[in-house]
Structure 1
Amino acid sequence: MRRWTRIVVIVVLVATGALALLWTQQRRLIYFPAPGPVPSAAAVWSGARDVVIRTADGVDLGAWFFPAAQRGPAVVVFNGNGGDRSMRAALALALRRMGLSVLLFDYRGYGGNPGRPTEEGLATDARAARDWLAAQREVDPGRLVYFGESLGGAVAVGLAVVHPPAALILRSPFTSLADVGAVHFRWLPVRHLLIDRYPSIDRIADVDAPVLVIAGDRDDIVPTGLSRRLFDAAAEPKEFVLVPGAGHNDRALLDGRQMLDAIEGFLGHTSLPGT
């Protein structure tokens, strides 16, 4: 009996230690920042500008601005959980060819920026990026578009509730981080352990803007079903586009023709002049 008691105690201690480790290190499993440095914007396009965005809590964020030829609508891109803004350069150039000014920026802790990423920190970064873009002379602040990629989709949804955009584009979005975690870590009590939760499913119905959701049918990071559930919870007007054969990080979901055509058509439907 004593032997079994010892075994039970050991198992409990090991399990407790594993859960404690997961609790303290969980953000390392959520955020995968490229440390930088990031090249100059001019290396991507001669007309692009390197800029610095100061957040409300005093963090300086590196960014690239791609101004359109004339004043008009603009897009701020909210990155996913990995890499840095240089990985989204092709998207920015494609959007600019549609007549849009584009802002690419890195969250705190990404691309050589100071700080560490958290849900609250990314929300603060998003507000600063939006405010900076709205203040540019090339931009009509009444025609701002938010583009959120994966985790950035949750950041964009949170911002859209507080500061409604002219249009909201979500690429591979999820219902909540807990739902994604439950898919990949079914044996762990993810819903009870998460510090950063990104509950887009609880927010999306309060977004007062046209919504476009784009998903790949071979996404093994964010299952298509989660993107579809988020779309179903959004208010009208809204559109859903499924890109066949596309996985989460495939080029088709960066600047693929079907995705770009869907974006251009969607923005045209929202009556954004210049698109």
Structure 2
Amino acid sequence: MAPTAILDWGHPLVAALVARVRRDAAARGAGSPREALQVAHGIIARGVRPVYSVEDRRRTSRTMRLGRGSCSQRMAALESVARAMDVPTRVRGLLVDGVFWYPRFPRFRPLVPEQVLLAWPEFLLQKEQEPAQEQGQEQSHAQGLEWVPIGELFRSPAERGGGSGGGAFTNRGGETLFDAVARTAVDWDGTQSCGMPGGAGCDLSAHVLVDLGYFGSRDALFARHGQTLCWPARRLSEPVLGRWSAGAGADAGPTSP
């Protein structure tokens, strides 16, 4: 897919990230696009420090140069890698209740927006093969493609039906939504078990205020609906929030570059 203003995968810094993903994926025997994206997720999670930046339209190359990024910016980096590897992407626009972010800012709740615009990525990947029901039963090679939300990137259909899922996502501490998807399915619809009994802890559907539908890119979503904060608010808050590490605590403030 073609680059966009945000998903500028043709930039040398992003191209270097893609090259690293290809090398690491080959070294680990990760042959499928889905496995390569899992490798990419790990590289981004380790290499891009999570902060509370409010610039959702920041270019991926800028995020890589800074070495830090918000949950949205790190997801954009993963989308950029996917597109560079010929995996189509789209985003689902969700207006999420600001209360969902209260645990991260307990002393600053009045400053948290009433609703936050979330661009939730999806990737067009090969459907997972279901195990043969009987010994010797052949499976079709024409499995087709399906849109896989980032919250299900690490879960095949069979795997999502059981297991502990690694615990609930609490939206506090150093773990962000971007990090959490590697250990537990994140569900905004209330239709998945999330790999936990009864879906406890990772069914986040109660926090969704409005489903804005699907967009061909996060650029298109933000062009139509804007960003969570207006430009003056972003200009005032970005110098602080853009350096404030996730999990640093409400009283800790920003960290040095």
TM-score normalised by the chain length of structure 1: 0.30
**Structure that is richer in helix per residue:** 1
Q: Which protein has greater RCO, CA pairs closer than 8 Å, 6+ apart?
A: 2
TM-score normalised by the chain length of structure 2: 0.31
